[in-house]
């Protein structure tokens, strides 16, 4: 365990590695979530998950719809996609994308965590045009000199390193141009501050609906006119009807909460509020968790109880 390094956890990837069976964050275009329990051996650590609120679900649905539309525009059908790339798979944030399927050895960078007791890599038995065997890595130990993606080591390549899982790329048409830019899907990140190769799903979704979700409700039913027969029949008197209608125009107009709250994750295990060794129930949309271990001996034990749609 690497102390004081953020650990990104994709439980669906963990299930795939443990059970030798494909597991995805989405099923037929719908985002999935995992329910289970978490047990830590240190009671001062925090584990975070995405919030189970409607802006998150809608944003994930829209991301999948947009991705599939670009596939359709390219003339691709779902059956033509590779088995392990047939469903959208996204990272937590840009930091997660930067360490995707890897563990840097500098002692400071984040870790893309996988379960204990699984193979970190295997040789595929297939070779590229240079005669290098493809080595598939669930977690590649990057040290900047001896090991890296692609031909490795740099001084005298013997294998060609590829990730076991892929952070799905979006082909985004550029405004006013015929060009397209590849962007990697992440859940979190602010539009304009993340890298140009990152598509942050939540902020992009809310930005696309800014007039509807960040200002006020615009989908309210029309109020009947003041001389509507039923209004006049049920009102105590005509002089009251006008006041009632004026009131209902104003009451309940404003959403009590801000959709911007969906841009932050929630604590499923709270530091200081959890007893070491205690099972704590949790729900994790897309099976994504973020954990910050505080000691070299920190451990996280996760039992998965159920998988379902958001």
Alpha helices of 158-293 — where are they, by DSSP H?
201-208, 210, 229-234, 238-250
* pLDDT tens-place values along the chain, 310 residues long: 556 689 999 999 999 999 999 999 999 889 999 999 999 998 889 999 999 999 999 999 999 999 988 888 888 888 888 989 999 999 999 999 999 999 877 767 789 999 988 999 999 999 999 999 999 999 998 776 556 889 988 788 899 999 999 999 988 887 777 788 889 999 999 888 888 899 999 988 888 875 544 434 444 445 554 544 445 445 554 455 555 555 566 656 666 667 777 888 999 988 877 777 788 899 999 999 999 898 888 888 999 999 999 8
In the 8-state DSSP scheme, what is residue 177? S
Listed by start position, the domains of the chain span 1-100+175-216+262-310, 218-250
Q: How far is CA 256 from CA 217, 244, 252, 261, 294, in A?
A: 11, 22, 9, 12, 37
pTM of the prediction?
A: 0.82
Tens of pLDDT, residues 137-188: 999 987 765 568 899 887 888 999 999 999 999 888 877 777 888 899 999 9
Q: For residue 200, which of 149, 255, 262 has the smallest C-alpha distance?
A: 262
Query: Contact 50/265 with Cβ under 8 angstroms?
Result: yes
Alpha-carbon distance 120 to 13, whole Å? 13
Q: Tokens at residue 96, please?
A: 């997660």
């Amino acid at each position: 365990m690497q102390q004081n390094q953020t650990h990104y956890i994709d439980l669906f990837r963990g299930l795939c590695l443990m059970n030798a069976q494909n597991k995805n964050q989405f099923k037929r275009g719908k985002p999935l979530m995992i329910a289970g329990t978490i047990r830590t051996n240190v009671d001062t650590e925090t584990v975070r998950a995405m919030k189970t609120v409607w802006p998150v679900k809608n944003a994930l649905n829209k991301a999948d719809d947009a991705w599939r539309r670009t596939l359709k525009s390219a003339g691709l059908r779902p059956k033509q996609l590779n088995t392990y790339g047939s469903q959208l798979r996204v990272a937590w944030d840009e930091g997660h994308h930067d360490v995707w399927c890897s563990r840097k050895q500098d002692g400071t960078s984040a870790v893309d965590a996988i379960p204990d007791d699984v193979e970190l890599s295997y040789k595929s038995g297939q070779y590229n045009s240079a005669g290098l065997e493809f080595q598939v890595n669930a977690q590649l130990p990057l040290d900047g000199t001896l090991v890296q993606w692609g031909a490795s080591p740099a001084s005298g390549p013997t294998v060609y390193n590829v990730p076991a899982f892929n952070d799905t790329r979006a082909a985004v048409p550029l405004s006013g141009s015929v060009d397209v830019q590849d962007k990697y899907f992440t859940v979190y990140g602010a539009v304009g501050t993340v890298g140009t190769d990152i598509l942050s799903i939540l902020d992009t979704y809310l930005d696309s609906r800014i007039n509807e979700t960040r200002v006020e409700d615009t989908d309210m039913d029309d109020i009947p006119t003041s001389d509507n027969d039923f209004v006049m029949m049920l009102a105590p008197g005509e002089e009251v009807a006008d006041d009632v209608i004026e009131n209902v125009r104003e009451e309940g107009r404003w959403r009590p909460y801000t959709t911007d709250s969906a841009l932050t994750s929630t604590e499923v295990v709270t530091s200081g509020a959890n007893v070491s060794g205690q099972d704590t129930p949790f729900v994790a949309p897309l099976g994504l968790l973020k954990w910050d271990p505080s000691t070299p001996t920190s451990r996280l034990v996760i039992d998965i109880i159920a998988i379902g749609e958001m």
